[in-house]
Amino acid sequence: MDEKFDCIIVGAGVAGLAAAMVLARSNMKFLLIERGEFAGSKNVSGGVLWGHDLAKLVPDYWEEKEAGWERFINHRRLTFMDEESTFSLDFKSSHFNEPPYSGVVVLRSKFDRWLADKVQDAIDASDYAMDSFIATNILVDQIIMKDDKAVGIKTGEDEFFADSVIIAEGVNNLLTRQVGLQTQYVPADHMLTGIKEIIRFDQKELEDRFQLNGLSGMSNEFVGWATDGVEGGGFLYTNRDTISLGLVLGIKDMREKNKSPHDVLNHFKSHPAIADIIRGGEIVEYTAHVVSSGDKRAMPKELYKDGVLLAGESANLLMNAGKAIQGMDYAMRSGILAAETIVKAKEKNDFTSATLSGYRKALDDSYVMKDINGFQDAVHLLHTPTMQHDVPNLICDFGRQFFTIKNEPTPKSKDMLRGAIKRHSSYWDLIKLGAKGAKAL
């Protein structure tokens, strides 16, 4: 193929597909290349796609009952766990019931494939119906650089040329390094391994067990005993007739503690509260994938250079301050902003970093970088031993006393709390945590 594209996008994950949708709608001629057999075939996610950007890309997506999403979230739970007990903050609200939903659970192999079909529809409706392509089963080996400007890609012996390249290759960002946008290896303590099982139930049984109504769903995050002493956390999300149950575990900590993700997941599943939840379910899928920690120090210093932009987790755009993992929504928004920048560059016929720097500005002005910058202290706090162990143990210890009724005089709650603090932490540590937490959140 001798023709030149306006843009080549590498990777048909959430970031690449979002970028492709914007380019197709803006009548741009582009090539989206994915190494997997189909979009989503290589992708793993817990996962809840948060926010309303999906509605921008696929208006009224909720009208499609067989669409790529599983359930909308109207029930959120954060659970502290010790060996015997769970103590949850539980929030369910019908205000979440109206579309566009504030979060939808997705299974990536289904969701990405569905979104790719929507992109194809947009290509078909564009002026470049015969000239823009989604190409799967192709691994991009190299970004072709000329005078330090990206001018195309190489796959095997084949070369394809374009005015611009969007790298949306995900967390294992080899091409990002190749073009020199990330020079340092990200330290292992900024990276996590995510593992997940999909467990199937009879749909009615699942809906009864989790009190789901229609397509409503629940997201549950876990802190404490779940990770068997390894830095990280657990999650559970309800799909149509399955649940996604898994963990994200610090790679460095896991290695130092000589633990395997599989063993830690079995440990999590052995907790009495989890065993009750998954009883009778059948494991139908097991997946693992690296995921960023949300520590900003893992981000490349710059997200653009002449002819090239980075979107999604290839730039380590992710946040997890304990409330939720936000990686897909960041990928989607950054893909949208990257494509909008390319559209502007095409209007000016200038794909140099002078124009592409507008992407960095747009991202800095968006909630993505505002939140990444604003919640770094919370990300760090979540990974401290106090938050990982002491606080969950203390809360569960207090819960056991508070909810136990004996035929004896009942101590005052403040005395129960004082005892729990003494057993698991100290006033001084909690004062420090409170001061830091108030600032961080």
Strand partners, 219: 76, 237
Whether the bond into 300 is cis, omega within 30 of 0:
no
The values of phi and psi at residue 381, to 5°, are -60, -40
Query: Residue 186 and residue 340: Cα distance in Å, rounded?
Result: 29
Which positions from 103 through 142 interact with ligand FAD, judged by CB under 6 A? 139-140
Per CB under 6 A, the list member of 51, 68, 152, 194 interacting with ligand FAD is 194
What's the Cα-to-Cα distance from 377 to each of 320, 322, 386, 440, rounded to whole Å? 11, 12, 14, 5
30 dihedral zone (left: phi>0; alpha: psi -120 to 50; beta): beta
If the CB atoms of residues 6 and 169 are measured against ligand FAD, the closer one turns out to be 169
Per CB under 6 A, the list member of 7, 19, 20, 34 interacting with ligand FAD is 34
If the CB atoms of residues 236 and 395 are measured against ligand FAD, the closer one turns out to be 236
If the CB atoms of residues 85 and 220 are measured against ligand FAD, the closer one turns out to be 220
68 near ligand FAD (CB under 6 A): no
If the CB atoms of residues 274 and 395 are measured against ligand FAD, the closer one turns out to be 274
Per CB under 6 A, the list member of 326, 341, 355, 388 interacting with ligand FAD is 326
Interface region with ligand FAD, contact rule CB under 6 A, candidates 58-66, 294-302, 322-330, 417-425: 322-330
If the CB atoms of residues 289 and 424 are measured against ligand FAD, the closer one turns out to be 289
CB distance 151 to 160 below 8 Å: no
- What token pair was written down for 416? 């129960």
- What token pair was written down for 27? 């009548």
The values of phi and psi at residue 104, to 5°, are -125, 140
3-class DSSP string for 417-432: HHHHHHHHCCHHHHHH
Q: What end-to-end distance do the CA atoms of the chain give, in Å?
A: 52
197 near ligand FAD (CB under 6 A): no
11 near ligand FAD (CB under 6 A): yes
Site string for ligand FAD, 301-320 (x = CB under 6 A): -----------xxx---x--
Query: Residue 319 and residue 303: Cα distance in Å, rounded?
Result: 17
Interface region with ligand FAD, contact rule CB under 6 A, candidates 199-207, 302-310, 326-334, 385-393: 326-334
14 near ligand FAD (CB under 6 A): yes
48 near ligand FAD (CB under 6 A): yes
Min CB(406)–ligand FAD separation in Å: 41
- Count of alpha carbons within 13 angstroms of residue 117, beta-carbon side: 8
**Nearest residue to 132 via CA among 40, 38, 1, 35:** 1
Query: Residue 69 and residue 64: Cα distance in Å, rounded?
Result: 9
If the CB atoms of residues 260 and 410 are measured against ligand FAD, the closer one turns out to be 260
Site string for ligand FAD, 231-270 (x = CB under 6 A): ---------------x-x----------------------
What's the Cα-to-Cα distance from 16 to each of 9, 40, 399, rounded to whole Å? 6, 11, 46
Min CB(50)–ligand FAD separation in Å: 6
85 near ligand FAD (CB under 6 A): no
Strand partners, 287: 196
If the CB atoms of residues 102 and 425 are measured against ligand FAD, the closer one turns out to be 102
Per CB under 6 A, the list member of 7, 26, 31, 43 interacting with ligand FAD is 43
If the CB atoms of residues 12 and 416 are measured against ligand FAD, the closer one turns out to be 12
Per CB under 6 A, the list member of 7, 13, 220, 261 interacting with ligand FAD is 13
294 near ligand FAD (CB under 6 A): no
168 near ligand FAD (CB under 6 A): yes
For 355-360, the CB contacts below 8 A with 24+ separation are 356/164, 356/304, 356/305, 356/306, 356/307, 356/308, 356/309, 357/304, 359/303, 359/304, 359/309, 360/302, 360/303, 360/304
Interface region with ligand FAD, contact rule CB under 6 A, candidates 7-15, 265-273, 358-366, 375-383: 7-15
Query: Residue 25 and residue 47: Cα distance in Å, rounded?
Result: 27
**Interface with ligand FAD by CB under 6 A: which residues?**
10-16, 33-36, 42-49, 139-140, 168-170, 175, 194, 196, 246, 248, 289, 291, 312-314, 318, 325-329, 331
